[in-house]
Structure 1
Amino acid sequence: MITATRRPAPPSHALHAPTFPVRTARPEEAAALADLSRPFVRSGALQERPVSLYAAHAADFLVTEAPDGTLDGCVGLGVHPAETGEGQGPAGVVYNFCVAGRRQGGGVGATLLRAVLAGARTRSLATLFTATTGGGGLFLRFGFAPATARLAPISWTESLDPRREARILRKALQLPG
């Protein structure tokens, strides 16, 4: 008799969520990234960033786009080197995650988050952090959990505006190999 070890079933969101093409943003899309982010900045969900930052860090951003070429969503993945004495490798920070209002609830955010998780694993990041002023439901469904600032990269936590009262979330990644 041959027996096999049961694998846990994938989460239901992974089974039924549509996927959309994801690509790296280009520097010339900096103004479009800023435009996509603007409603979230106005609501207080995102920190305002100058167009020059989007241009300089375009390679950090993954985007999805509509058939007409407008951006439907974006997410940044910043890499922070290991801090002295920490004993861990570099950590990733997921930032400026937004989906155009017309596309929310249709799987664009889940597609972007799956892509950023895959990119983090490819870069051998063992841990990801993010800060959210909302409920963070999508992050929680993807295995992020509340964390303290002391676990996160200092340079990143010092850049957070305490007036925004953002919650820090963390996800440990299983690396390939």
Structure 2
Amino acid sequence: MTTVTPSPAPPMRGRAPAHSVRFGRADDAGELAELSMPFVRSGALRERPVSLYAARAADFLVAVGPGDRLEGCVGLCVYPAGPAEAGAPAGVLYNFCVAGHRQGCGVGAVLLRTALTMARARSLGALFTATTGGGQLFRRYGFTSTAACLAPVSWAQSLDPRRNARILARAV
């Protein structure tokens, strides 16, 4: 048997420098709100007060770039198992956004892969999200359209029907 030590992949042209992902902290609240604001203005995200970001900071995975600036975030909220989940809790991904200057650089993919890893580590049965966009990134990672009745009830009931968001899900 021959073993080879893998060498690092060559840097990809057009890609931004590497970024790290960590859990959010209460002191990230203002920056989370600022990062989310362009998406709120476009109608892609619901507006949330800074106090809510501070209270739920531990829900967030944040991508940190140069200068410790947040370049993306996604919240992962865990819901107890309902009848449709066959005993496993479910997760909901929310407030997923990437700074405009970092879109297309892989920040969203890194956040989504990390969220999937966290979901597996927490033994979640499924992940859900709602999107007003095309959901292409979610679809690349195995999410498909689903019915609201299969999602955690309290989350599904909190969705604003005027936004016409589509619910996507995938088994974990």
Both structures adopt the same fold (TM-score exceeding 0.5): yes
Please give the alpha-carbon distance, in whole angstroms, between the structure 1 residues aligned to 2:144 and 2:165: 14
Please give the alpha-carbon distance, in whole angstroms, between the structure 2 residues aligned to 1:138 and 1:104: 11
1:101 matched residue in structure 2: 100
2:31 matched residue in structure 1: 32
1:131 matched residue in structure 2: 130
Residue identity in the other structure for 1:41: V
State the TM-score, normalizing by the size of structure 1: 0.85
Give 3-state SS (helix, strand or coil) of 1:68's partner.
helix
Distance change in 2, residues 1:68/1:81 (3 Å):
same
Please give the alpha-carbon distance, in whole angstroms, between the structure 2 residues aligned to 1:35 and 1:161: 22
1:164 matched residue in structure 2: 163
* 1:1-177 equivalences in 2 (<5 Å): 20-83=19-82, 87-173=86-172
Please give the alpha-carbon distance, in whole angstroms, between the structure 2 residues aligned to 1:35 and 1:112: 18
Residue identity in the other structure for 1:66: G
Aligned length: 157
Distance change in 2, residues 1:86/1:103 (3 Å):
closer
Give 3-state SS (helix, strand or coil) of 1:158's partner.
helix
How big is the shift at 1:171? 0.4
Please give the alpha-carbon distance, in whole angstroms, between the structure 1 residues aligned to 2:42 and 2:85: 36
Q: Which runs of 4+ in 1 moved over 6 A?
A: none
Residue identity in the other structure for 2:72: G
Residue identity in the other structure for 2:169: R
Please give the alpha-carbon distance, in whole angstroms, between the structure 1 residues aligned to 2:113 and 2:85: 27
Unpaired runs of 5+ residues, structure 1, are 1-16
Give 3-state SS (helix, strand or coil) of 1:72's partner.
strand
Give 3-state SS (helix, strand or coil) of 2:32's partner.
helix
Give 3-state SS (helix, strand or coil) of 2:62's partner.
strand
Q: Deviations over 1:103-145 (max 9, x none)?
A: 0000000000000000000000010000000000000000000
How big is the shift at 1:86? 5.5
Please give the alpha-carbon distance, in whole angstroms, between the structure 1 residues aligned to 2:103 and 2:161: 27
Report the aligned-residue RMSD.
1.5
Distance change in 2, residues 1:85/1:35 (3 Å):
closer
Give 3-state SS (helix, strand or coil) of 2:66's partner.
coil
Q: Deviations over 1:54-80 (max 9, x none)?
A: 111111000011211211000000001
User: Percent of aligned positions with the same letter in both sequences?
Assistant: 64
State the TM-score, normalizing by the size of structure 2: 0.87
8 Å Cα contact 1:20-1:111 kept in structure 2: no
